[in-house]
Structures are given as structure tokens and as C-alpha cells.
């Protein structure tokens, strides 16, 4: 976490948390979700406009990724100065890239160490790594297949519905945060 962020947190300790305004899709792209996007539905709903606007500014994306963390409930957030901005996940908290040599890195480019591989009932592949749990980027399925074919990685079958509980993450902190309708 950036030192300036830590200083802001110490200076303003009681800033309310923010929900629904930031999303991470299944390809590792960040999206800003204004009121209009949120009115279209949940981030992962697949409804037109619900994802919001894809962030393009490299320095902003780097800042988000440096200050991306998880709380004790398994809800991922971006610490934006003193404010915690909870992230809506389309799939998982990380999107892993696999190079031709089988080395794994995050969508931010951080190298991690492979621990285990999983495949769900839809054929989506996931990795548990030293950096946590996440989805394999669609462009890297060929590298994943090579690692499996060469016997480097074994695959365990999983059900997509079981992943958040098993790997302790929440896909929608906003939905978890909202009080039930009366």
C-alpha cells in the first residue's frame, strides 16, 4: 500500500466506505460504475451498461492495483486515500496470466508461485497461487493446457458456485452490504 494512502487513513480514520463504484472483470480490466451503470444491475449481471466505463489511464490502474487488498470478510477493496472502495468482481479477485514457460503473474504483472489448478463445470480454469485465488486469463488457456499435458500441473474439478465460499472471497460486497428490502 502506498505511504500517502497510509498517511491519509491515519489523518481521516472515519471516512465512510464506498460500494458499487468499481469493478474487476474476468479479463482483469477495471471498470468505473457511475449511478447509471449501477442502475443497470449488478456488475456481473451481463446486462448492457452494468459494467460501466472501462478504465484506460495506466497510472490510475497502477494506483488501484498497488492499493488493492481484502478485508476479514473476504471482500476485496481499493484503498483510495482514507476511503475504502469495495470492488465488484465478475469472477474472482485475481486474473492470472501464464507465459509460455508456465510462469504465473497477476494482471498487474506481479510474479506469483503456482500451488494448484482447478476447472469448473463450464471449463473455466482457476489457479491457487502464492498471491491468492483467481481465474486464468482466456488468452492463456494454451499455456495452461501445455502445463497440464506435460504433467506439471494436476487439475481438480470444482463447481463455480462453491468457489467464493471455498476460497473465502465475495463477488459483490455491495449486495452483501445492502440491507434487506422491507
DSSP string, 32-98: E--HHHHHT--GGG--TTSS-EEP--HHHHHHHHHTEEE-TTSBEEEEETTEEEEEEESS-S-EEEE
**What SS3 class is residue 149?**
helix
Q: What is the pLDDT of residues 14-69, one digit of tens each?
A: 878 899 999 999 999 999 999 999 999 999 999 999 999 999 999 999 999 999 99
Q: Does domain 3-91+169-177 have CATH number 3.10.540.10?
A: yes
Instruction: Give pLDDT, residue 110.
Output: 92
pLDDT band at 12, cuts 50/70/90? Answer: low
Instruction: Give pLDDT, residue 152.
Output: 87
Cell digits for 118?
482447478
Res. 75: pLDDT tops 60: yes
**pTM of structure:** 0.89
Instruction: Give pLDDT, residue 21.
Output: 95
100 versus 7: the higher-pLDDT residue is 100
Instruction: Give pLDDT, residue 97.
Output: 96
Cα–Cα distance for residue pair 123/127, rounded to 1 Å: 13
Res. 118: pLDDT tops 90: yes
pLDDT band at 179, cuts 50/70/90? Answer: low
Residue in this structure with the C-alpha cell 465460499, named with its chain if needed:
165
Paired strand residues for 84: 79
Instruction: Give pLDDT, residue 101.
Output: 87
Q: What mean pLDDT comes out for the span 72-93? A: 94
The overall average pLDDT reported for the chain is 91
In the chain, what are the domain boundaries?
Answer: 3-91+169-177, 95-166
Res. 159: pLDDT tops 60: yes
pLDDT band at 182, cuts 50/70/90? Answer: very low
Instruction: Give pLDDT, residue 144.
Output: 94
Amino acid at each position: 500500500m502506498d505511504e500517502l494512502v497510509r498517511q491519509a487513513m491515519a489523518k481521516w480514520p472515519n471516512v465512510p466506505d464506498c460500494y458499487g463504484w468499481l469493478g474487476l472483470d474476468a479479463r482483469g480490466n477495471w471498470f468505473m460504475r457511475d449511478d447509471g451503470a449501477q442502475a443497470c444491475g449488478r456488475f456481473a449481471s451481463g446486462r448492457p451498461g452494468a459494467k460501466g466505463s472501462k478504465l484506460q489511464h495506466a497510472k490510475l490502474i497502477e494506483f488501484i492495483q498497488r492499493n488493492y487488498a481484502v478485508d476479514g470478510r473476504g471482500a476485496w477493496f481499493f484503498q483510495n486515500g482514507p476511503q475504502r472502495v469495495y470492488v465488484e468482481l465478475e469472477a474472482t479477485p485475481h486474473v492470472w496470466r501464464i507465459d509460455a514457460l508456465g510462469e504465473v503473474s497477476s494482471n498487474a504483472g506481479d510474479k506469483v508461485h503456482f500451488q494448484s489448478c482447478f476447472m469448473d463445470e463450464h471449463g473455466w480454469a482457476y489457479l491457487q497461487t502464492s498471491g491468492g485465488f483467481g481465474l486464468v486469463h482466456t488468452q492463456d488457456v494454451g499455456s495452461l493446457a501445455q502445463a497440464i499435458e506435460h504433467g506439471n500441473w494436476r487439475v481438480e474439478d470444482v463447481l463455480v458456485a462453491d468457489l467464493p465460499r471455498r476460497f473465502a472471497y465475495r463477488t459483490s460486497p455491495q449486495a452483501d452490504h445492502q440491507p434487506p428490502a422491507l
